[in-house]
């Protein structure tokens, strides 16, 4: 989606966001009372728009990929179970 098509509420520096290491998401308070969220995986893929799940507001997260925490290597592995 082109920038002029987005109706962004604000642009926020990554330093002003909170990082949830367990969920691997950054979040920032939304005026509606919920919070904007974006996953670290989306950010590594170049996404910079965090959305609020409760309303239509969106913000742009300003960051450099080197600002992101390293990938977790101890994440649980999924395996297929054959019947």
Whether residue 61 contacts residue 17, with contact meaning beta carbons closer than 8 Å, is answered with yes
Q: How confident is the model at residue 1 (pLDDT cuts 50, 70, 90)?
A: very low
CA distance 48 to 59: 8
Buried/exposed 27-64: b ≥16 CB within 10 Å, e otherwise: bbebeeeebbbbebebbeeeeeebebeeeebbbbbebe
The structure's pTM equals: 0.76
Whether residue 20 contacts residue 69, with contact meaning beta carbons closer than 8 Å, is answered with no
| Domains, the chain | 3-65 (3.10.660.10)
pLDDT digits (tens, 9 = 90+) for 20-71: 999 999 999 999 999 999 999 999 999 999 999 999 999 999 999 888 888 7
């Amino acid at each position: 989606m082109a920038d002029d098509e987005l109706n962004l509420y604000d642009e926020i520096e990554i330093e002003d966001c909170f990082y949830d290491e367990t969920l691997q998401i950054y979040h920032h308070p939304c005026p509606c009372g919920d919070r904007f969220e974006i996953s670290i995986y989306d950010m590594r893929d170049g996404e910079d728009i965090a959305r609020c799940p409760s309303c239509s507001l969106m913000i742009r997260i300003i960051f450099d990929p080197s600002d992101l925490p390293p990938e977790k290597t101890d994440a649980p592995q999924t395996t297929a179970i054959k019947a």
